[in-house]
C-alpha cells in the first residue's frame, strides 16, 4: 500500500525536527554529562562526601526547572517561542559557569540551580508543534524525545572519557559552549512561527484536570526520578563491584547503548505504524521494573550491571521517544505550550526528587534500597498505564 504525501514529512518538517532535536539535545547535555561521573568527582569537593548533598546537587537542576517550566511554557504562548528559548539558554550558560568555578558542594548546588532556570523544554516542543502538520507531529516529537535518549547514551559513553581529559570544570564549560551553539542554530536555521494572536487563559486549568495528561505527566516524572536515583549509586557500583575506574566506564556503556538502539528502533516502528503503542509502552515500563529487580539481586557483579544497563537503555529510549508525542496528541490544540509546560515540570520534579531521595536512601539504607524503591515506583506507573487511552494512528 502506497503512502500519500501527507504520510511523509516535508523538507521544512524534517529540518525543524532535526534542528530542534539538536537544540534540545545540546541543552540536555548539561544534565546528562555529569550523571556518569559526578558521584565519583563529588568527594573531591568540600562537603562532597555526603551522599545526601551529592544527590541534591545532581537533582538541583530539576528544582528550578520544576518551578519555571509552566510559566515559561505559558510565556511562549504569549510572546513567542524563540525569545523564551534564547533567554533560557543564556541562563543555562550562566549556571554552567558557576558550576565550573564551584569551590565546594554548596556552590555546585547553586550552579545547578541556575542552570535549571533555563527551562526551555516546553517552548521547544511547542515550537515544534507550531511548525509541523498534525499528521506529522508525532514523528517530530519522537525525534525530539529520541534526542534525549541519544544524548543520554552519548553522555554515558563520552563523559568518562571527557572527565579524564578535561575534568569536571571542563565538562561544565563544554556544556555552556554547546548552549551558545544551540542559540546560533535556533536563530539561523529554525523558522519563526506567527506570534499567537491572543493569550490563552483557560487552557492551564484544562490541562491540569485532564486524566490522560495526568497519567502521562506522572510517567515522565517517574521515569526521570528512577533515572536520577539510579545514577546516584551506579557509577560507584561500577567501580566497587565491577572493578572499573571511571574513565573506563564507557566499556560497559558503549556496547549497551549500541545494542539498545538496535532494539528500540523496531519497537518504535511497531508502536507508531502498526498501532502497537499500548503493548510497547507497557512493556517498556515493565522492563524498567525488571531492571530494578535485577540491580537489586545481581548488581554486585560487572556482568549483572552491564545486562541491567542494556535493558534500562532499551526501555528508557522507547519511553523518551513516545511520551512527548502522546502528550502533543492528547493536549487541547490551543494549549500545547501549557500542556508541554506541565509535562516538562513533572519531568523536572522527577529529576529533583530522584537525585534528592536517591541520595537520602543510599546514605541511610544502602544502594540496594535505591533500586528497590525505583522498582516499586515503576510497578505503580505500570498499574496507572493499564487504564490509559492511546490515540490511534493518524490521530492528533
Residue 8 DSSP code? S
Residue (of 173, 194, 85) closest to 130 by Cα position: 194
What's the mean pLDDT in 33-51?
86
Name the average pLDDT for the chain: 83
Q: Is 3 helix (H, G, I), strand (E, B) or coil?
A: coil
Domain ranges of the chain: 12-190+209-385
Q: Is the pLDDT of residue 83 over 80?
A: yes
Residue (of 158, 157, 129) closest to 142 by Cα position: 129
Q: Is the pLDDT of residue 219 over 90?
A: yes
Percentage above 90 pLDDT, the chain: 25
At the fourth CATH level, the homologous superfamily of domain 12-190+209-385 is MFS general substrate transporter like domains (1.20.1250.20)
Q: Is the pLDDT of residue 200 over 90?
A: no
Question: Among the listed ranges 25-29, 39-43, 235-239, 304-308, which one has the minimum average pLDDT value?
Answer: 25-29
Q: What is the pLDDT of residues 266-315, one digit of tens each?
A: 887 777 677 778 888 999 999 999 999 999 887 778 888 889 988 998 89
Residue (of 51, 118, 60, 39) closest to 352 by Cα position: 60
The Cα 274–Cα 287 span in angstroms is 21
- pTM score, two decimals? 0.77
Cα torsion through 98, 102, 107, 110, rounded to 10: 30
Percentage above 70 pLDDT, the chain: 90
129 or 88, higher pLDDT? 88
Cell of 197: 494572536
Q: So what's the pLDDT on residue 86? A: 93
Residue (of 28, 126, 134) closest to 78 by Cα position: 126
Q: What is the pLDDT of residues 99-157, one digit of tens each?
A: 999 999 999 999 999 998 888 877 887 788 788 776 676 677 767 766 776 787 788 78
**Where do runs of H (alpha helix) occur along 241-330?**
250-273, 277-298, 302-330
Q: What is the pLDDT of residues 238-275, one digit of tens each?
A: 888 878 887 788 888 888 878 887 887 788 777 767 77
Cell of 247: 574513565
What's the mean pLDDT in 31-60?
85
Q: Is 80 helix (H, G, I), strand (E, B) or coil?
A: coil
What's the mean pLDDT in 334-338?
68
DSSP per residue over 214-265, as a string? HHHHHHHHHHHHHHHHHHHHHHHHHHHTT---GGGTHHHHHHHHHHHHHHHH
Q: So what's the pLDDT on residue 217? A: 92
Q: So what's the pLDDT on residue 185? A: 87
The Cα 132–Cα 127 span in angstroms is 9
Contact 163, 171 (CB under 8 A): yes
Q: Is 9 helix (H, G, I), strand (E, B) or coil?
A: coil
Question: Among the listed ranges 93-97, 118-122, 273-277, 334-338, which one has the minimum average pLDDT value?
Answer: 334-338
Rounded to 5 degrees, φ, ψ at 376 are: -65, -40
What's the mean pLDDT in 72-98?
88
Between the alpha carbon of residue 49 and those of residues 38, 56, 161, 247, 371, the distances in Å are: 12, 12, 23, 20, 21
Residue (of 83, 91, 92) closest to 126 by Cα position: 83
Q: So what's the pLDDT on residue 281? A: 92
Q: So what's the pLDDT on residue 1? A: 43
Q: Is the pLDDT of residue 4 over 70?
A: no
Q: So what's the pLDDT on residue 373? A: 95
Amino acid at each position: 500500500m502506497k503512502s500519500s504525501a501527507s504520510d511523509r514529512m516535508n523538507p521544512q518538517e524534517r529540518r525543524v525536527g532535526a534542528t530542534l532535536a539538536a537544540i534540545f539535545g545540546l541543552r540536555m547535555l548539561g544534565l546528562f554529562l555529569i550523571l556518569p561521573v559526578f558521584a565519583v568527582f563529588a568527594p573531591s569537593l568540600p562537603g562532597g562526601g555526603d551522599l545526601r548533598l551529592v544527590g541534591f546537587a545532581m537533582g538541583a537542576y530539576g528544582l528550578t526547572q520544576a518551578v519555571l517550566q509552566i510559566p515559561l511554557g505559558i510565556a511562549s504562548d504569549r510572546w513567542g517561542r524563540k525569545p523564551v528559548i534564547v533567554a533560557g539558554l543564556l541562563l543555562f550558560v550562566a549556571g554552567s559557569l558557576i558550576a565550573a568555578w564551584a569551590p565546594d558542594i554548596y556552590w555546585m548546588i547553586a550552579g545547578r540551580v541556575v542552570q535549571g532556570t533555563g527551562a526551555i523544554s516546553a517552548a521547544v516542543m511547542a515550537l515544534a508543534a507550531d511548525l509541523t502538520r498534525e499528521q506529522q507531529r508525532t514523528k517530530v516529537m519522537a525525534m525530539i524525545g529520541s534526542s534525549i535518549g541519544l544524548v543520554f547514551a552519548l553522555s554515558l559513553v563520552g563523559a568518562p572519557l571527557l572527565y579524564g581529559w578535561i575534568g569536571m570544570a571542563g565538562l561544565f564549560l563544554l556544556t555552556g559552549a554547546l548552549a551558545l551553539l544551540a542559540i546560533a542554530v535556533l536563530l539561523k536555521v529554525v523558522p519563526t512561527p506567527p506570534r499567537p494572536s491572543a493569550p490563552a487563559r483557560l487552557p492551564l486549568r484544562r490541562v491540569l484536570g485532564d486524566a490522560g495528561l495526568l497519567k502521562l505527566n506522572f510517567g515522565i516524572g517517574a521515569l526521570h526520578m528512577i533515572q536520577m536515583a539510579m545514577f546516584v549509586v551506579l557509577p560507584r557500583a561500577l567501580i566497587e563491584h565491577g572493578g572499573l575506574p571511571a574513565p573506563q566506564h564507557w566499556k560497559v556503556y558503549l556496547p549497551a547503548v549500541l545494542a539498545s538502539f538496535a532494539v528500540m528502533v523496531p519497537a518504535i516502528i511497531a508502536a507508531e505504524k502498526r498501532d502497537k503503542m499500548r503493548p510497547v509502552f507497557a512493556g517498556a515500563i515493565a522492563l524498567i521494573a525488571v531492571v530494578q529487580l535485577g540491580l537489586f539481586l545481581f548488581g554486585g557483579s560487572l556482568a549483572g550491571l552491564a545486562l541491567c544497563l542494556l535493558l534500562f537503555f532499551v526501555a528508557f529510549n522507547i519511553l523518551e521517544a513516545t511520551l512527548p508525542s502522546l502528550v502533543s496528541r492528547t493536549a487541547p490544540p490551543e494549549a500545547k505550550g501549557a500542556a508541554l509546560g506541565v509535562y516538562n515540570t513533572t519531568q523536572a520534579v522527577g529529576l529533583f526528587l530522584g537525585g534528592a531521595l536517591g541520595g537520602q536512601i543510599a546514605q541511610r539504607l544502602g544502594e540496594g534500597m535505591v533500586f528497590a524503591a525505583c522498582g516499586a515506583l515503576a510497578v505503580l506507573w505500570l498499574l496507572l498505564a493499564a487504564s490509559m487511552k492511546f490515540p490511534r494512528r493518524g490521530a492528533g
